[in-house]
A and B are shown apart, each in its own frame.
Chain A
Amino acid sequence: MVSLTINGRVVQANKGEMLLSVTRREGIDIPALCHHDAVEPFGACRLCMVEITKAEWDGWTNYVAACLYPVEDGLIVQTHSSKVNELRRTVLDLLLARCPNSPEIRQLAAEYGVTQTAYEEIPDADNCILCGLCTRVCERLGFKAISTVGRGHDKVVAPPLKEAPPDCVGCLSCAQVCPTNVIQYEDEGNKRTIWNKSFELIACKECGKQTITRDFAEALSSQRNIPEDYFELCDECHRRELSVKMGSIVSWSREAAS
């Protein structure tokens, strides 16, 4: 265990833990758009910058990304000092020029008092902040269906050759974790479409409810040894099946006892 001071309060943390996970546990709201606990910290968005110092630093301070900074004993942290807020405003100003139409970025920027970017807005902007969370999560899942392609100005997230990605299973995780909700998908009838690829959604054989795609279920069966018939019923019909089984067991035991 290490002991550190955050915004004047002494808190305990586990050795090796990142500052951001400690501030989150303490309920301190630090914007962290490129971070997700499912993947390793990446440090792309720079919004989680905080001010750190130590008693022996003679008043010197440093600014670090909380998502990438392991806690240390005796660390003194300020998460919302005027200098920190100023840094975040600069980052948000840049993000606003990149994604002027993103409601998520607009709202966050407004919270920090930035309503209009000082930079030139990018023409035909999409709302992608290029944090790479989607590609990193897809890689963590083992599918590696999408990646960032191009460099600098032309960098975008896309499937290989910008065609329907052969390795995508349509699990939607990329869309779920995207901080600016740019990744579009559609569920219609028994079809799901994402990244220009269509998938069959498995319908519950009792009630028709759909939960995941056939491709995803097949990947889970083969990689994780989950019997394929587990995916034939939805959660609700599985519960009902269990309650009916329980009824049979109890009535059988009652008959056996009488």
Chain B
Amino acid sequence: MKQRLIVTPDLCTGCRTCELACAFAHSVKGKPGRSRIYPLPTGKHEMWTPVVCLHCDDPACAKSCLVDAITRNEETGAMELDNDKCVKCMACVAACPFGCSLHDAQHDLVVKCDLCGGDPVCAHFCPTKALTCRPVIPTRRKAVV
């Protein structure tokens, strides 16, 4: 089922647990990967917000990828990046207007949030429920007569 990762900035304390959970969940050969989520200060009321891929309806990352390495997983709704297809041109890193396509320098891979295949690990670990995960319920629209 399509998932939505719900971010509630009011609740984020900036503890960075999500970052750690994400890095470990995306380990490469036993070494933690680069976190795909970034809790950042908002500059207001000492408030923080986790910044993470929005899995846009019209994603700049996928549009900029000339080899079609970024595609929508229809099951989870996530925009996923296929590292076997990626030629590391950095177009998506430059194009995402929210900075959510990233270069993992340690593993020399281009990476982004994949909603962990439909069950985001960050949401499980967030102690304050600033991150939660809910299935997308298709909205019913009234028929226009």
- Contact of B67 with A141 in the complex, beta carbons under 8 Å: yes
Give the nearest-CB partner of A223 in chain B: B66
Total chain A interface residues with beta-carbon distance under 8 A: 41
Interface residues of B in 38-67 (CB under 8 A from A): 38, 40-45, 47-49, 51, 60, 63-64, 66-67
Residues in B neighbouring A233, C-beta threshold 8 A:
99
The answer to whether A250 and B9 have CB atoms under 8 Å apart is yes
How far is it, in angstroms, between the C-alpha of A212 and the C-alpha of B65 when the chains are bound? 13
Task: Known contacts A141-B67, A226-B64; decide if A247 and B49 are in contact (CB<8 Å).
Answer: yes
Selected contact of A38 from candidates B43, B87, B99, CB within 8 Å: B87
Stretch at the interface among B18-26, B90-98, B137-145: B90-98
Residue A196 at the B interface, CB < 8 A?
no
B87 touches A251 (CB 8 A): no
- In the complex, the chain B residue whose C-beta lies closest to that of A220 is B64
**By the criterion CB–CB under 8 Å, are A226 and B60 in contact?**
yes
Majority secondary structure, A binding face:
helix
Number of interchain pairs (Cβ within 8 Å): 125
Q: Is the CB of B98 within 8 A of A250?
A: no
The residues of A that contact B40 with a CB separation of less than 8 Å are 239-240, 243
Most buried by A among B42, B51, B94: B94
Instruction: Identify which of residues 193-238 in chain A touch chain B, using a CB-to-CB cut-off of 8 Å.
Output: 202, 211-212, 216-217, 220, 224-226, 230-231, 233-238
* Contact residue among A142, A216, A234 (Cβ-Cβ distance under 8 Å from B99): A234
The interface stretch among A2-10, A113-121, A172-180 is A172-180
Whether a CB of chain A sits under 8 angstroms from the CB of B100 is yes
Size range of the chain B interface in the assembly: 35 or more
A37 to B71, CA, bound (A): 14
User: Which residue of A212, A237, A248, A254 has the most chain B CB atoms within 10 A of its CB atom?
Assistant: A212
CB distance from B83 to the nearest CB of A (A): 9
Contact with A225, one of B41, B63, B99 (Cβ below 8 angstroms): B63
The residues of A that contact B93 with a CB separation of less than 8 Å are: 211-212, 235
Residues of chain B within 8 A of A246, CB atoms compared: 9, 42, 49, 51
Instruction: Decide: B9 and A247 in contact? CB cutoff 8 A.
Output: yes
Given A243-B51, A246-B9, also A38-B64 (CB < 8 A): no
Determine if B85 and A238 form an interchain contact, defined as CB atoms under 8 angstroms apart.
no
Residues of B close to A226: CB separation below 8 A: 60, 63-64, 95
Which residue from A24, A38, A231 sits with its C-beta under 8 Å from B85? A38
Q: Is B101 an interface residue (CB 8 A)?
A: yes
Complex interface: chain B residues within 8 A of A171 (CB):
89-91
B139 to nearest A CB, angstroms? 22
How many Å from the CB of A172 to the closest CB on chain B? Answer: 7
CA distance A141 to B85 in the complex (A): 12
- Ranked 7 nearest A-B pairs via Cβ: A247-B42, A238-B99, A235-B99, A247-B44, A243-B40, A239-B99, A173-B87
- A residues whose Cβ falls under 8 Å from a Cβ of B: 24, 36-38, 137, 140-142, 171-173, 176-177, 202, 211-212, 216-217, 220, 224-226, 230-231, 233-240, 242-244, 246-248, 250-251, 254
Give 7 new A-B contacts, CB below 8 A, not counting A224-B64, A235-B100. Answer: A224-B63, A226-B95, A230-B97, A242-B98, A243-B49, A248-B42, A250-B42
* B residues in contact (CB < 8 Å) with A: 9-10, 38, 40-45, 47-49, 51, 60, 63-64, 66-67, 69, 82, 84-91, 93-102
A sample of 9 inter-chain contacts (CB < 8 A) reads A36-B84, A36-B85, A37-B85, A137-B67, A226-B64, A235-B99, A238-B97, A242-B98, A244-B43
